């Protein structure tokens, strides 16, 4: 038996200004399209209530402890995910191959960024539509037409995808500390307020649809729950908290030792979950009031909310503000997706700006395949010969591969590393969370690995 060696305490190459900045940055990463675009549409596709409960359990019992582990690994390693994992494995006399976990996380972030930018791009023209009054009094059919027109046009999609990626590089290249932190402090609370406005509007405009929506979201019918839905729920728990893409890992590597990882993670998980549930309450009442289909898929937000904006007082302003904030929420997330790879390239001697630009450039290029998946290549289903991937476009496959496979696998391996490979002294010292530590340790050693493992295995049948 080799005695557990206590790992080195390393110094960071740069740190956050203070802990609220760190919370803002991680919350900015976590709150994004996952909450407002993806959560409502996958909830709609998977039948509502039961799916939401599984998602909430996954966040609390698995997502949160793994988030704590990921930030901890970053702060202990003080380097990009790959190099941190190599160093931390060395501390515990384990193989440098743990570095591959870092590689997989960076790859996941890269793949996600490539399509994330395309989707975020959809929201940009919607700002203009809202301001110009294009939604005023629009019927569901007209709003659907606007969305359909956007998806059918590779040229438009390319333009907005390019603009969004340029925004992302713009901030990432100059370091995260600059303008974005300040912008986020105003805009994120703004998003929150707008969601409240929409919810209150729904309640007043049509309370019976509102009640129906609450029933849909919170009244579980477990007979509708499939193994696939459970995998989607756990995958989304990781996606929405930005886990296993190296983003919070990299952010953790810049974190002061005095900040409590557990309490900041807890706060972030609460904020993130609230925003998702609020988005559901903003969207589903409109779905039911207008006889729309909850399982409409990725276009859900873009064909429901405009209907409400078109009817409510000051809807042009509220609508425009909403899409501005959606873009900003996505922006602070996409910046975080670059960070792990940029940090790694910097460690290899590349300049910050060159690193940001080259990663974003490559993701932009891959994003073109997502642009085409929405129109010209809509009928191209590369893995169609496998039953479960039948009808899935390249974009659908990137989404499935990252959220349902790479993120849960990365989370599983981080849980094993933090719970079983690192010494107890090291994790206890790094987390300094007092009596909560024992609880975290049970979650990370047993609940998270077993939970993720069982869901994976159940999905193989
Ligand atoms: N959490 C973000 C959202 O919900 C997406 C995101 C940002 C992400 N960084 C990530 C997902 C890293 C996985 C990995 O929109």
Q: Which atom of ligand 1 is nearest to the CA of 30?
A: 1
Displacement of CA 352 from its chain's centroid (Å): 24
pLDDT for 461 equals 67
pLDDT for 208 equals 96
Q: Which of 330, 340, 274 lies closest to 301 in space, CA to CA?
A: 330
Decide whether any atom of ligand 1 lies within 6 Å of the 34 Cβ: yes
pLDDT for 3 equals 41
Span from the CA of 438 to the centroid of ligand 1 (angstroms): 28
Span from the CA of 335 to the centroid of ligand 1 (angstroms): 10
Helix residue ranges per DSSP H, 348-393: 352-373
pLDDT for 365 equals 98
Token pair in block for residue 163: 């603009």
DSSP 87-136: HHHHHTT--GGGHHHHHHHHHHHHHHHHHHHHHHHHHHHHHHHHHHTTTT
For residue 375, report the phi and psi dihedrals to the nearest 5 degrees. -140, -85
Token pair in block for residue 142: 């007209």
pLDDT for 371 equals 98
| pTM metric for this prediction | 0.94
Q: Which of 109, 113, 29 lies closest to 367 in space, CA to CA?
A: 113
Decide whether any atom of ligand 1 lies within 6 Å of the 58 Cβ: no
pLDDT for 1 equals 36
pLDDT for 447 equals 98
Q: Which atom of ligand 1 is nearest to the CA of 35?
A: 4
pLDDT for 168 equals 95
Q: Which atom of ligand 1 is nearest to the CA of 33?
A: 15
pLDDT for 251 equals 94
Asked whether the beta carbons of 306 and 143 are under 8 A apart, the reply is yes
Decide whether any atom of ligand 1 lies within 6 Å of the 112 Cβ: yes
**Which positions of the chain have pLDDT values less than 70?**
1-7, 176-180, 182-183, 461
Cα-based distances in Å from 258 to 246, 255, 433? 22, 8, 11
Measured distance between the N- and C-terminal CA atoms of the chain, rounded to whole angstroms? 39
Q: What sign does the dihedral 182-186-191-192 (CA atoms) show?
A: positive
Decide whether any atom of ligand 1 lies within 6 Å of the 240 Cβ: yes
Asked whether the beta carbons of 336 and 24 are under 8 A apart, the reply is no
pLDDT for 132 equals 97
Asked whether the beta carbons of 253 and 347 are under 8 A apart, the reply is no
pLDDT for 191 equals 87
Span from the CA of 242 to the centroid of ligand 1 (angstroms): 4
Q: pLDDT per residue over 9-44, tens digit each?
A: 787 777 887 788 888 889 999 999 999 999 999 999
Decide whether any atom of ligand 1 lies within 6 Å of the 30 Cβ: yes
pLDDT for 6 equals 56
């Amino acid at each position: 038996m080799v005695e557990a060696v206590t790992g080195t305490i390393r110094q960071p190459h740069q740190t956050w200004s203070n802990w609220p900045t760190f919370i803002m940055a991680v919350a900015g990463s976590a709150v994004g399209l996952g909450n407002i675009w993806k959560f409502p549409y996958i909830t709609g596709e998977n039948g509502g209530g039961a799916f939401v409960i599984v998602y909430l359990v996954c966040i609390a019992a698995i997502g949160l402890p793994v988030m704590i582990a990921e930030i901890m690994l970053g702060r202990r390693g003080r380097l990009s995910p790959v190099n941190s994992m190599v160093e931390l494995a060395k501390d515990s006399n384990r193989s440098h191959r743990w570095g591959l976990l870092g590689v997989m996380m960076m790859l996941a972030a890269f793949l996600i960024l490539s399509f994330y930018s395309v989707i975020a791009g959809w929201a940009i023209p919607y700002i203009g539509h809202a301001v110009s009054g294009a939604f005023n009094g629009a019927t569901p059919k007209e709003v659907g037409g606007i969305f359909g027109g956007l998806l059918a046009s590779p040229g438009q999609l390319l333009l907005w995808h390019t603009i969004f990626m340029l925004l992302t590089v713009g901030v990432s290249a100059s370091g995260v500390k600059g303008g974005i932190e300040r912008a986020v402090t105003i805009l994120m609370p703004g998003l929150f307020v707008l969601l409240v406005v929409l919810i209150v509007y729904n309640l007043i405009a049509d309370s019976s649809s509102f009640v129906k929506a609450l029933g849909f979201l919170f009244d579980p019918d477990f007979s509708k729950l499939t193994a696939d839905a459970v995998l989607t729920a756990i995958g989304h728990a990781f996606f929405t908290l930005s886990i296993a893409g190296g983003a919070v890992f990299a952010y953790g590597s810049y974190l002061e030792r005095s900040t409590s990882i557990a309490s900041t993670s807890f706060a972030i998980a609460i904020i993130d979950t609230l925003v998702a549930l609020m988005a559901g309450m903003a969207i589903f009442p409109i779905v039911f009031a207008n006889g729309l289909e909850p399982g409409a898929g990725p276009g859900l937000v873009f064909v429901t909310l405009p209907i409400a904006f078109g009817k409510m007082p000051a809807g042009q302003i509220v609508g425009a503000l909403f899409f501005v904030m959606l873009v900003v929420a996505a922006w602070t997330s996409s910046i975080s997706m670059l960070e792990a790879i940029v940090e790694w390239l910097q460690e290899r001697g590349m300049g910050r700006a060159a690193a940001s630009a080259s990663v974003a450039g490559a993701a932009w290029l891959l994003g073109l395949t997502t642009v085409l998946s929405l129109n010209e290549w809509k009928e191209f289903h590369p893995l169609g010969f496998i039953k479960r991937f039948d009808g899935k476009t390249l974009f659908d496959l990137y989404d499935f591969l990252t959220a349902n496979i790479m993120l849960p696998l990365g989370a599983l391996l981080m849980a094993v590393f933090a719970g079983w490979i690192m010494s107890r002294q090291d994790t206890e010292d790094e987390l300094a969370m007092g009596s909560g530590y024992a609880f975290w340790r049970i979650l990370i050693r047993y609940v998270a690995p077993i939970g993720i493992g069982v869901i994976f295995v159940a999905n193989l049948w």
